[in-house]
Amino acid sequence: MSGHHDHGHGHGVPKPGGSGLGSPDAHHHPELGFWRKWVFSVDHKVIGCQYTVTALCFLFFGFCLMLLMRWQLAYPNQPIPIIGGLLPASMANAGVMLSDFYNSLGAMHGTIMVFLGVVPLAVGGFGNYVMPLQIGAPDMAFPRLNMASYWVYFCGGVVMLASFFMPGGAASSGWTSYAPLSVTATMGQTWWLVGMIFLITSSLLGSVNFIVTIIQLRVKGLTFFRLPFFVWAQFVTAFLLLLAFPPLEAAGVLQLMDRVAGTSFFMPSGLVISEVPLQNAGGGNPLLWQHLFWFLAHPEVYVLILPAFGIVAEIIAANTRKPLWGYKSLVYAVVFLGFMSFIVWAHHMFMTGMGTKMSNFFQTTTMIISIPSVVVLTCLILSLWGASIRFNVPMLFALAFLPMFAIGGLTGLPLGLTTSDVQLHDTYYVIAHFHYVVAPGTIFALFAGVYYWFPKVTGRALNETWGKVHFWLSLVFINGVFLPMFVQGMYGGHRRGYDPMVYDAYQQMPALMGMVKGISWSAWMLGVAQIPFIVNFIYTLAKGRKTAENPWQATTLEWAAPTPPPHGNFATAPTVYRGPYEYGVPGLANDYQPQHLA
């Protein structure tokens, strides 16, 4: 079984390009019209950009939903300034947010950020654009499937947004949609379920594409242990999406049946709502929903973090000018992490009455799964030792990721231990924990990725000064939002509460309410801090400073393609001669050796 081959048949290797930047086989097919080129494109780069722009819009929208919630929390039952009067009667009463609307905002904020924002950006955006380039492939293994993935995601997004206009508003049973509340909720929940089915389908199609591409389309010389860590991260992520999502799809169908066909999969016997007994058959189990939901949703959180690990690793390697410390450890750690992520899910269910045998089992697996995360973080931190660090904007975000993720990860430990979870479950402590990993964690890594790869995609560099302003303001305010939440949670602050003042703790401790206000103001300032980024992004697209082909002097293959890469990516398929992080090799003229140079 030889690793190297030379196929004489015309199928394998793209032919040498015609002129300059032209696509390798431009002579094959006529120029595509506008719709086939920019809307229904099968080119992974166009699709990656579509995912990126759509996901950034959803991230912004989901963020705005939360900004609205923060008003109600900081100034309970007071009219929302400026827009309060504009909200319809279904959402606000004389400018004061209705509790049902608050619940919708909460459920949709979570859903949109996770399923429409972060994952599409991290996987659909960055994964789609960068991964095929990093393995030297001309495109994904199934380009049309790729296009279908994007448009199914887009439809799912439209369905989710449309649910706001349903009678009764959008879904309001949490992003977790626990039964029986979700089964008896208004029509928005049905739309949520339909939207999720679209999004899950999109994910499944995408994950098949990613796995086949990484296994089959690596260029000559690119063995698995020469892959950039970003590709390994996407590879494991794809497996998580492939195998963990289907149970949620099944659960979604079951909940749809409960809502629409009157079944009782999740509905217990004898349920009475507003003194009216339900007419269904009963005999169902609400905990079944929780098992099926969390079977996906736990691996989902690793889907949220793994691409971030990948992005941060690439940026650290390029900006420390030395190889990543412990490349093999990193790889084994994320593979082990991926596997373990399937067997920890019920740590979200410690309070549901399971026996000590099973809760001990899940507590143990949860403790074990913290080890590979620590390994990854340690390797990345040790990579900084003795390095010539270049403090550009991507590196600032990547460096900030490390302590932020550390805080998020460490604060997860008391939640994974059953005893301490009794106190902390369903409090703001939980919200602080998971936001630390996703917000100053993953989202910072995604910002880093935008600043890092923007020159590759557009040939222009985002403005460094405004990038630094964006970074520092975001870092300060995001900590202002989430750090106090740990304290708020430890004082017993319930999550998903519409009005803090109904609880004794807030009534008796003005400092606590002061904290809530402080968090809200930090959140609004965080919103303002994104303005430099948005303006920078749009302005640079139009008029930004043009850069060199490989401005970071990085070694991985995407920097070897022309800027921006044409259809088919490489005029001739590159050959890989070495590992991905040959920086600072002693005795060489350059302080880096690209993978593809002989």
Partner 1 sequence: MSAEAIPYTVEPHPDTGVPNPKLGMWLFLASEVMLFGALFSSYILLRVGAEKWPHHTETGLNVPLATINTAVLILSSVTVVMAWYSLKIGDIAKGKLYILATILCAFGFLVIKYFEYSAKFEHYVLFQADGTEVHGHVTDRTSEFITFQPDAHGAAGSPPAAMQLPVADVESGAIKFTNLGPWFSNFYAVYFTLTGLHGLHVVGGIVVFVYLLLTANSWWAKHPEQFTNRIECTGLYWHFVDLVWIFLFPSLYLL
Partner 2 sequence: MSAHHAAHKVDIEELKKSVRTYIAVFVTLLVLTGLTVGVAYFNLPIALAVVVALLIAIVKGSLVALFFMHLVHEVKVIYWTLALCVVFFIFLIFVPLATESNQSGIVARSPSLVLGAGEHGHQEGQAGEH
Q: Which residues bind partner 2 (CB under 8 A)?
A: 178-180, 215, 239, 243, 247, 268-272, 282-288, 290-292, 295, 342-343, 346, 349, 351-355, 357-358, 425-426
Residue recorded with tokens 């009764």: 168
Give the helix/strand (H/E) hosting 512: helix 510-529
Residue recorded with tokens 């912004």: 60
SS3 call for 546: strand
Q: Is 27 in the site for partner 1 (CB under 8 A)?
A: no
390 phi-psi bin (left φ>0, alpha ψ -120 to 50, beta other): beta
Beta carbon nearer to partner 2, 284 or 566: 284
587 phi-psi bin (left φ>0, alpha ψ -120 to 50, beta other): left
Q: Is 244 in the site for partner 1 (CB under 8 A)?
A: yes
Beta carbon nearer to partner 1, 207 or 479: 207
Which residues is 273 bridged to in the sheet?
Answer: 276
Q: Cβ contacts of residue 294 below 8 Å, gap of 6+?
A: 345, 346, 348, 349
CB of 355 to partner 2, least distance (A): 6
List the interface residues with partner 1, window 264-283 (CB under 8 A): 264-265, 269, 279-281, 283
How far from chain centre, in Å, is Cα 219? 28
Q: Is 458 in the site for partner 1 (CB under 8 A)?
A: no
Q: Is 3 in the site for partner 1 (CB under 8 A)?
A: yes
CB of 349 to partner 2, least distance (A): 8
Q: Which stretch binds partner 1 (CB under 8 A): 202-210, 352-360, 461-469, 480-488?
A: 202-210
SS3 letters across 460-483: EECCHHHHHHHHHHHHHHHHHHHH
Give the Cα separation of 193 and 189 in Å (integer): 6
Q: Is 215 in the site for partner 1 (CB under 8 A)?
A: yes
CB of 213 to partner 1, least distance (A): 8
Q: Cβ contacts of residue 370 below 8 Å, gap of 6+?
A: 409, 412, 413, 416
One of 5, 27, 328, 543 touching partner 1 (CB under 8 A): 5
CB of 485 to partner 2, least distance (A): 19
Q: Where are the alpha helices (DSSP H) in 117-228?
A: 119, 128-134, 143-162, 188-216
Contact of 255 with 247, CB cutoff 8 Å: no
* Cis peptide bond prior to 180, omega within 30° of 0: yes
CB of 555 to partner 2, least distance (A): 28
SS3 letters across 400-436: HHHHHHHHHHHHHHHHHCHHHHHHHCCEHHHHHHHHH
CB of 391 to partner 1, least distance (A): 39
Q: Is 23 in the site for partner 1 (CB under 8 A)?
A: yes
Beta carbon nearer to partner 2, 183 or 308: 183
CB of 506 to partner 2, least distance (A): 19
Phi and psi dihedrals of 30, rounded to 5? -70, 160
Binding-residue pattern over the window 519 to 558 for partner 1, x denoting contact by CB under 8 A: ----------------------------------------
Q: Is 285 in the site for partner 1 (CB under 8 A)?
A: yes
Beta carbon nearer to partner 2, 312 or 346: 346
CB of 189 to partner 1, least distance (A): 18
Q: Which stretch binds partner 1 (CB under 8 A): 46-54, 132-140, 175-183, 424-432?
A: 132-140
Q: Cβ contacts of residue 36 below 8 Å, gap of 6+?
A: none
Give the Cα separation of 103 and 378 in Å (integer): 39
**Residue 406 interacting partner from partner 2, partner 1, none (CB closer than 5 to 8 Å by kind):** none
CB of 561 to partner 1, least distance (A): 13
Beta carbon nearer to partner 1, 302 or 451: 302
Which among 24, 256, 47, 11 is positioned nearest to 149, based on CA atoms? 47
CB of 110 to partner 2, least distance (A): 15
Give the Cα separation of 307 and 134 in Å (integer): 14
Give the Cα separation of 559 and 551 in Å (integer): 9
Q: Which stretch binds partner 1 (CB under 8 A): 64-72, 161-169, 239-247, 422-430?
A: 239-247
**Residue 7 interacting partner from partner 1, partner 2, none (CB closer than 5 to 8 Å by kind):** partner 1
Residues that bind partner 1 (CB under 8 A): 1-3, 5, 7, 9-14, 23-25, 28-29, 42, 137-144, 204, 207-209, 211-212, 215-217, 242-247, 249-251, 253-254, 257, 261-265, 269, 279-281, 283-285, 288, 291-292, 295, 567-568
